[in-house]
């Protein structure tokens, strides 16, 4: 099948130079294709367990020197990298589109994430990573200093839906903190993170500090986890459980951002025009392949027909297409296999009584993995689309009579990654948001406001994850805390000639005095 012409930036020389960074001593390769056409772009080397061990050894050697650099010098690398990432955004977007099939808007917006993370931590890292001196157990003669030291080598397992953003943005704070990184991108979407790493090295990141290994998860994952000092994973809840269990056996930390079945509650005072536009992106952005995208919408009974009809009308007229320009509003799914999974959810719902209000079909006339924006009605929890993550351009509409009922329905899930509340009375909307069991809640937005707020931690609750990215927590998780305690004078014990009874009496009196004087 023919697709749009490949952008001029994606030369064979560039693609071969990128995949040359991937170790593959066993000779096995993966056919990495352009999603729009199915054309093979490059043969991606597949890393053996021995390749992964060598990558970690190289990373450790580089990390020992990198950790000795003053923080200010490390941050200078990222100051330069920011400019390179922004200046090369269109080439990066070309790579993202070719390997993932997303539309141009989403590809460009994805390129913005690493620079945003860099900007935040350039400002914040000097304060967060600075040693903090505190009082010790004995006032004036003892101190205790909190020192943050790098973990060592961080393993990052990045997903295919935002390969550039997660491949780089999760690594940036780890590198700033003095760690090395070994990243495993998804085979389908390895090109854009490889390009990003090349730009970081152009900015002055030491060679060998940021390694890439490739392969299928079961083949690569165990060796990667067993050699890492910390694991960052974004992906499915099922895989997250496996990774978390292995990390636990190895007594290393992990951060897991997992699946969601994200709800939206629309209040009866909502502005319909603003809601339709915001929700269209929140449901169908990146063709529904966003961990935080909305899959369940609860509409008030009093305005159900009005809101349903307005939203369905907008969804039915979204421009779907394969192009490296800003024409299409909806791009492709990442693969034909994933298209079939999305289709199976819709087919199962229809077979069990749900109604398709718009969409519901694959579009092979456009490309191998295209699927129409789909709105369902009458979805129940015995349907795949009603209880498990579809991760595609599919949403179910539901009625509610009272806000309490809507909140109960929104919380009736094992997931808790993201949620959305819409209404013009912000105090009322915030009160609803406070009752939703989710790591992120957006008011009058679907997902972007929470995720793009780099100063605030973002993560999931329940089965949607452990830990968070962004905020101070997103940097400190890549460090261990060293407590450097100093005793200036030997006063912790009885003085010469003092009996222990007298010492205890003095000690207990001192505790009362310290509390009264608030001495710490």
pLDDT tens, residue by residue, 206-217: 999 999 999 999
Q: What is the mean pLDDT of residues 250-266?
A: 98
CA-CA-CA-CA dihedral for 21, 158, 253, 82, to nearest 10 = 70
Identify the residue with better confidence: 515 or 220: 220
Whether 255 is a known active-site residue: answer no
Helices (H) and strands (E) in the chain, counts: 19, 20
pLDDT confidence tier of residue 155, bands split at 50, 70 and 90: very high
Phi, psi of 259 (to 5 degrees): -75, 175
Q: Is the separation of the CB atoms in 348 and 383 below 8 Å? A: yes
Q: What is the mean pLDDT of residues 398-427?
A: 98
What are the beta bridge partners of residue 485? 144
The encoded tokens of residue 100 equal 């993932």
Side-chain-side CA neighbours of 158 within 13 Å: the count stands at 30
Whether 257 is a known active-site residue: answer yes
Question: Smallest Cα–Cα separation from 316: which of 305, 308, 324?
Answer: 308
What are the beta bridge partners of residue 145? 133, 484
Measured between alpha carbons, how far is 476 from 180 in angstroms, rounded to an integer?
Answer: 15
pLDDT tens, residue by residue, 105-117: 999 999 999 999 9
Q: Is the separation of the CB atoms in 167 and 92 below 8 Å? A: no
The CA angle 402-408-410, to the nearest 5 degrees, is 105
Q: Is the separation of the CB atoms in 144 and 135 below 8 Å? A: yes
Length of the chain (residues)? 520
Residue-level pLDDT at 55: 98
What are the beta bridge partners of residue 395? 375
Dmax (CA) for the chain in angstroms is 95
Instruction: Evaluate if residue 1 carries a pLDDT over 60.
Output: no
Q: What is the mean pLDDT of residues 446-472?
A: 98
Measured between alpha carbons, how far is 433 from 442 in angstroms, rounded to an integer?
Answer: 8
pLDDT confidence tier of residue 514, bands split at 50, 70 and 90: confident
Residue-level pLDDT at 151: 98
DSSP 207: T
Residue 361: other Cβ atoms inside 10 A? 12
Residue-level pLDDT at 248: 98
The encoded tokens of residue 244 equal 């978390």
Rg (CA), the chain: 26
pLDDT tens, residue by residue, 332-356: 999 999 999 999 999 999 999 999 9
Q: Three-state DSSP class for 436?
A: coil
Q: What is the mean pLDDT of residues 220-241?
A: 97
Q: Is the separation of the CB atoms in 110 and 96 below 8 Å? A: yes
What are the beta bridge partners of residue 137? none
The CA angle 138-142-146, to the nearest 5 degrees, is 115
Residue 215: other Cβ atoms inside 10 A? 25
Q: What is the mean pLDDT of residues 419-437?
A: 98
Interacting residues of 255 by C-beta distance below 8 A, sequence separation 6+ = 230, 231, 232, 233, 459, 465, 466, 467, 468, 469, 477
Q: Three-state DSSP class for 441?
A: strand
SS (H, E, C) 292-319: CCEEEEEEEHHHHHHHHHHHHHHHHCCC
Catalytic residue selected from 214, 254, 255, 291: 291
Catalytic residue selected from 34, 109, 201, 257: 257
Beta strands in 364-478 (DSSP E): 374-377, 394-400, 418-422, 440-443, 458-459, 465-466, 468-469
Instruction: Evaluate if residue 458 carries a pLDDT over 90.
Output: yes
Residue-level pLDDT at 519: 74
């Amino acid at each position: 099948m023919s697709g749009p012409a490949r952008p001029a930036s994606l030369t064979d020389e560039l693609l071969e130079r990128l995949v040359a960074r991937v170790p593959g001593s066993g000779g096995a390769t993966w056919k990495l294709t352009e999603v729009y056409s199915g054309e093979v772009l490059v043969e991606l080397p597949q890393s053996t367990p021995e390749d992964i061990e060598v990558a970690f050894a190289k990373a450790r050697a580089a990390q020992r020197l990198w950790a000795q650099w003053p923080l200010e010098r490390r941050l200078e690398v990222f100051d330069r990298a920011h400019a390179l990432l922004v200046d090369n955004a269109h080439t990066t977007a070309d790579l993202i589109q070719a390997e993932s099939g997303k539309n141009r808007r989403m590809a460009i917006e994805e390129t913005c994430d690493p620079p945003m993370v860099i900007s935040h931590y350039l400002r914040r890292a000097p304060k967060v990573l600075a040693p903090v001196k505190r009082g010790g157990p004995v006032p004036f003669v003892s101190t205790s200093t909190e020192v943050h030291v790098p973990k060592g080598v961080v393993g990052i397992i990045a997903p295919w839906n935002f390969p550039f953003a997660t491949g780089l943005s999760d690594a940036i704070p780890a590198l700033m903190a003095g760690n090395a990184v070994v990243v495993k991108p998804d085979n389908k979407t390895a090109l854009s993170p490889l390009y990003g790493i090349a730009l970081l090295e152009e900015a002055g990141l030491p060679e060998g500090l940021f390694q890439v290994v490739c392969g299928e998860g079961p083949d690569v994952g165990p060796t990667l986890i067993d050699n890492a000092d910390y694991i960052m994973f974004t992906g499915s809840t099922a895989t997250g459980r496996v990774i978390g269990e292995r990390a636990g056996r190895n007594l290393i930390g992990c951060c897991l951002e997992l699946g969601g079945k994200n709800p939206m509650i629309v209040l009866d005072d909502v502005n319909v025009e603003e809601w339709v536009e915001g929700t269209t992106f929140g449901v169908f952005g990146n063709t529904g392949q966003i961990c935080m995208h909305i899959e369940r919408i609860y509409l008030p009974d009093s305005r159900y027909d009005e809101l349903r009809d307005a939203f369905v009308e907008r969804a039915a007229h979204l421009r779907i297409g394969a192009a490296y320009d800003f024409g299409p509003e909806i791009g492709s799914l990442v693969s034909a296999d994933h298209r079939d999974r999305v289709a199976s959810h819709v087919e199962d719902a229809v077979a069990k009584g749900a109604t398709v209000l718009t969409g519901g079909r694959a579009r092979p006339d456009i490309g191998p993995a295209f699927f129409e924006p789909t709105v369902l009605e009458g979805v129940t929890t015995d349907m795949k689309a009603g209880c498990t993550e579809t991760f595609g351009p599919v949403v179910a509409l539901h009625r509610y009579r009272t806000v309490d009922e809507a909140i109960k329905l929104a919380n009736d899930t094992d997931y808790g990654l993201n949620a959305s509340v819409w209404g013009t009375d912000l105090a009322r909307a915030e009160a609803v948001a406070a009752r939703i069991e989710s790591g992120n809640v957006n008011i009058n937005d679907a997902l972007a406001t929470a995720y793009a707020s780099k100063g605030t931690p973002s993560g999931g609750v329940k089965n949607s994850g452990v830990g968070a990215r962004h905020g101070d927590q997103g940097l400190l998780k890549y460090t261990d805390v060293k407590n450097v305690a100093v005793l200036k004078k030997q006063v912790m014990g009885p003085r010469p000639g003092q009996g222990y009874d007298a010492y205890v009496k003095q000690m207990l009196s001192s505790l009362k005095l310290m509390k009264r004087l608030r001495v710490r």
